[in-house]
Structure 1
């Protein structure tokens, strides 16, 4: 999520970590759950358009076949399912920095 946020804000991870508190980062995560952005969302929009055109044209689909759905045109949809999210945990800014270093650079927290 940190990388997506950095891309959306036009900042590097280091710049983002320097100005973003854990509380604000958590709010961005919650906002993303309500209104996602990025390539996954763009794939969905393209899938909607492509399925609409395919269903309108109709000639491409075999007779009796189900109508096309957006997922038919989303190349990366078959990703492994993620484990259910645990309840939110409150971390200090230092703990968040250690977590980010572990996640991004493979540096284990002390």
Structure 2
């Protein structure tokens, strides 16, 4: 439903009810990413070598955008002098690699 249609069809009381419902049962891409991350963390922890990785993986460990995810460690960009090395770093970061 468009915003204009919602404003025409939903009054303030109903809108407040939807806000309260969202607080109880959130929806949207953020919660879907968290659900996917839970499954990924489960799989990673099943296969985790507890000697090499003593701390269990958490769902947000697999999303760079998350406030507590891997990208949160540093907000500083990594800029290399060599364009080919910069490209290789980007490819390895996005697609994985060694």
TM superposition score category, shorter chain reference: 0.5 to 0.7
1:71 to 2:60 alignment:
yes
Could you tell me how far apart the structure 2 residues matched to 1:78 and 1:64 are? Answer: 21
**Residue 46 and residue 62 in structure 1: after superposition, are their counterparts in 2 closer, same or farther (change >3 A)?**
farther
What runs of 5+ residues in structure 1 fail to find an aligned partner? 1-10, 80-110
Partner of 2:7: 17
Q: What TM-score do you get using the length of structure 1 for normalisation?
A: 0.55
Could you tell me how far apart the structure 2 residues matched to 1:27 and 1:57 are? Answer: 43
Say what the alpha-carbon RMSD is for the aligned residues. 2.0
Query: Cα distance, 1:64 vs. partner?
Result: 4.5
Q: Which has the higher contact order (CA 8 A, sep 6+)?
A: 1
What number of residue pairs does the alignment pair up?
A: 68
What runs of 5+ residues in structure 2 fail to find an aligned partner? 69-98
Q: How does 1:6-85 map to 2 (within 5 A)?
A: 11-59=1-49, 63-78=52-67
Query: Cα distance, 1:62 vs. partner?
Result: 6.2
Q: What TM-score do you get using the length of structure 2 for normalisation?
A: 0.61
Runs (4+) off by over 6 Å? none
